[in-house]
Chain A
């Protein structure tokens, strides 16, 4: 699956506005603009690795629980074992990813997408 390949000529800077151009060519102009290229690059450099990471982390947990239950039973302190800690860490990582993504998106994605949307809606593409 090819995700967010930077399109050819995408780094050539903001494309000239096309007054009177059709809606679809406006979209293509936006898609070729530097701001949009930046959004796609940021999307690809944060969201995709985080997706890969949490899926790997979750399936690691499942595979160990299924095929190495003995490891999960090792005591950490008293009746609390590795499995319970590992499970608790899944909760912690899920909470942490949700908050860090929200924070990251507000800082790194929203200003760019706002700017592009205003330009496109204002007919500047």
Chain B
């Protein structure tokens, strides 16, 4: 843990904490494993495996959705951006919250009413075309894997920070352990086990954030203005940290980059496959609505805490020390915890962060495995004729494969900025998934060709623009020797798209292509199917209900 030791004041932490952190990690792992195993006994049917028997109540599922959504990027990443750049991190968190209104108002209830397990179910009910289900599955898998990679990339950096594992091989081992645990949760626990892991994780995450927030506020005399004053005073940028612009206001490119990110965040939430799939774990659309209201409150209060934590870290830890620590901004909250409560609080925060990665990774894995088994295997390869038991078996095997892919990806992607990768996953979700969901639910004329154009157009344009953006190549550091892109050789530069986030182009393009494909389709939409879709979406007729209703 050379980075931390070099900062001096934390040298003692590198000696005492790893063992304590490890004990707290191990405790969380054991508790959640017990939960996964005890939930496993009830995993019989496909509905049990994919949707937890549709037996969760609105508030349980709302907390679990929060658990799925509040990734390490939210907890460590956003607080870190606030600690280093102030207000711009706050801007970021608001995008993550406001996007939920779209889920609540337009997506959650119709989706619950018209699908069984996946987003592709909804599009398929409307259009009844195997290629469309295949397209929806491809985009779901792409977004899930993107998001998964973001989480696994963060896991390596986090472990180096919190467990004192500094060697590259050691970090790889821990990433592999994360992967194995997650495969176990998903294979054994199914959706029921995964949901309980999410609930436990969201609860300790919220509790950890709340305790640390109150602790920070107590140092500032429970006065937010006083906290802001201290934070600004201790930053080299002084009062500039209290207003926008430090991170995104550098030049016109960064400004448009932020607008692009804002569009992706607010529209992307409603297209995230692991969030959408959770809506099927409740008995009916009404509980789905209640879930999302719970999620909005949990997520909102959590981001208010990250505001305090970020400015608290700016004040009590200081930007210089945060930047010097391994993981940079991501280390702000752990360092703050150490500053406030010593090794014990650092251990708890570390365990919370570890639990967060583990749970989000499990949620993504079950989503991707369900999508592959239900959409690709049963829907496309078997044309809907698959035996349900066989389908669940395929889902379990897929979970293992995805786990292995995630581990390998996590090892290769170590050290990439987590929050930022998540922003890209949101852009892909908003481009590839959202247009066809909204068109399927609300546009009478929407056709299969429109869906194909919109899904593939959104997917190819968003991923393609990322490949040709400074994210992948050509971004140079101030020094100019090593690049900050994925390809660190500054001489390889094939970036022609100036923005890091593609949303501002790819999202409108995907909506446009959905419209264009539809109006140029020689086969018009079937009005009977739209009538069925609309009646089912708004009344819940024919929706699979859970045990309680």
Partner pick for B443 among A2, A31, A91, A101, CB 8 A cutoff: A2
| B541 at the A interface (CB under 8 A) | yes
| B444 at the A interface (CB under 8 A) | yes
Do B266 and A116 touch (CB < 8 A)?
A: no
Do B289 and A67 touch (CB < 8 A)?
A: no
The stretch from B89-97, B195-203, B470-478 touching chain A is: B89-97
List which B49-94 residues lie within 8 A (CB) of chain A.
87, 90-91, 94
Chain B residues whose C-beta falls within 8 Å of the C-beta of A98 in the assembled complex: 100-101, 104, 292-293, 296-297
| Complex Cα gap A77–B242 (Å) | 13
- Given the interface contacts A51-B105, A101-B105, does A83 sit within 8 Å of B87 by beta carbon? yes
Q: How far is the CB of A123 from chain B (nearest CB, A)?
A: 12
- Given the interface contacts A58-B98, A61-B94, A83-B243, does A102 sit within 8 Å of B289 by beta carbon? yes
Interface residues contributed by chain B, number (CB under 8 Å): 58
Do B304 and A79 touch (CB < 8 A)?
A: no
Residue in B closest to A70 when the chains form the complex, CB atoms: B243
Q: How far is the CB of B249 from chain A (nearest CB, A)?
A: 6
Residue in A closest to B526 when the chains form the complex, CB atoms: A24
Do B534 and A87 touch (CB < 8 A)?
A: no
Interface residues contributed by chain A, number (CB under 8 Å): 57
| A11 at the B interface (CB under 8 A) | no
| Complex Cα gap A25–B528 (Å) | 8
| Complex Cα gap A102–B294 (Å) | 11
Partner pick for B535 among A36, A72, A84, A97, CB 8 A cutoff: A36
Chain B residues whose C-beta falls within 8 Å of the C-beta of A47 in the assembled complex: 105-106
Q: How far is the CB of A45 from chain B (nearest CB, A)?
A: 13
| B320 at the A interface (CB under 8 A) | no
Q: Give the A-B contact count at a CB cut-off of 8 A.
A: 162
- Chain B 87-124 near chain A by CB (<8 Å), digits 1 or 0: 10011001101101110111000000000000000000
Do B102 and A72 touch (CB < 8 A)?
A: no
Do B531 and A94 touch (CB < 8 A)?
A: no
Partner pick for A121 among B98, B224, B541, CB 8 A cutoff: B541
Partner pick for B534 among A31, A79, A84, A94, CB 8 A cutoff: A31
- Chain B 526-541 near chain A by CB (<8 Å), digits 1 or 0: 0111011011101111
Interface residues, chain A, with chain B CB atoms under 8 Å away: 1-5, 23-25, 27-28, 30-31, 36, 39-40, 43, 47, 50-51, 54-55, 58-59, 61-63, 65-67, 69, 72-73, 77-81, 83-84, 87, 90-91, 94-95, 97-99, 101-102, 105, 109-110, 113, 116-117, 120-121
| Complex Cα gap A62–B258 (Å) | 8
The dominant DSSP class at the B interface is: helix
| B42 at the A interface (CB under 8 A) | no
Partner pick for B242 among A2, A61, A73, A121, CB 8 A cutoff: A73
Q: How far is the CB of A35 from chain B (nearest CB, A)?
A: 9
- Chain B 239-280 near chain A by CB (<8 Å), digits 1 or 0: 100111100110000010011001000100000000000000
**New A-B pairs, 6, CB < 8 Å, besides A36-B539, A83-B244:** A2-B443, A30-B541, A31-B531, A51-B105, A105-B289, A113-B540
Partner pick for A90 among B87, B98, B245, B249, CB 8 A cutoff: B98
Partner pick for A78 among B87, B229, B442, B531, CB 8 A cutoff: B229
| B498 at the A interface (CB under 8 A) | no
Residue in B closest to A102 when the chains form the complex, CB atoms: B293
Do B106 and A51 touch (CB < 8 A)?
A: yes
Residue in B closest to A24 when the chains form the complex, CB atoms: B528
| Complex Cα gap A94–B105 (Å) | 12
* 13 A-B interface contacts by CB (under 8 A): A24-B532, A30-B531, A36-B538, A58-B262, A58-B266, A62-B259, A66-B258, A69-B249, A72-B87, A94-B97, A98-B293, A102-B289, A116-B535
Chain A residues whose C-beta falls within 8 Å of the C-beta of B225 in the assembled complex: 77-80
Chain A residues whose C-beta falls within 8 Å of the C-beta of B393 in the assembled complex: none
Chain A residues whose C-beta falls within 8 Å of the C-beta of B445 in the assembled complex: 2
| Complex Cα gap A25–B443 (Å) | 20
Residue in A closest to B266 when the chains form the complex, CB atoms: A58
Residue in B closest to A113 when the chains form the complex, CB atoms: B539
Chain B residues whose C-beta falls within 8 Å of the C-beta of A91 in the assembled complex: 94, 97, 300, 303-304
Q: How far is the CB of A81 from chain B (nearest CB, A)?
A: 6
Residue in A closest to B229 when the chains form the complex, CB atoms: A79
| Complex Cα gap A5–B527 (Å) | 13
Do B100 and A94 touch (CB < 8 A)?
A: yes
Chain A residues whose C-beta falls within 8 Å of the C-beta of B102 in the assembled complex: 51
Chain A residues whose C-beta falls within 8 Å of the C-beta of B378 in the assembled complex: none
Residue in A closest to B101 when the chains form the complex, CB atoms: A54
Do A84 and B244 touch (CB < 8 A)?
A: no
- Given the interface contacts A69-B244, A73-B243, A113-B540, does A27 sit within 8 Å of B532 by beta carbon? yes
| B290 at the A interface (CB under 8 A) | yes
| Complex Cα gap A46–B207 (Å) | 36
| Complex Cα gap A29–B87 (Å) | 54
Do A65 and B535 touch (CB < 8 A)?
A: no
Most buried by A among B91, B532, B541: B541
Most buried by B among A54, A65, A117: A65
- Chain B 287-317 near chain A by CB (<8 Å), digits 1 or 0: 0011011001100100110000000000000
Q: How far is the CB of B545 from chain A (nearest CB, A)?
A: 11
Chain B residues whose C-beta falls within 8 Å of the C-beta of A69 in the assembled complex: 243-245, 249
Partner pick for B297 among A2, A84, A95, A105, CB 8 A cutoff: A95
| B286 at the A interface (CB under 8 A) | yes
List which B495-549 residues lie within 8 A (CB) of chain A.
515, 527-529, 531-532, 534-536, 538-541
| Complex Cα gap A2–B286 (Å) | 26
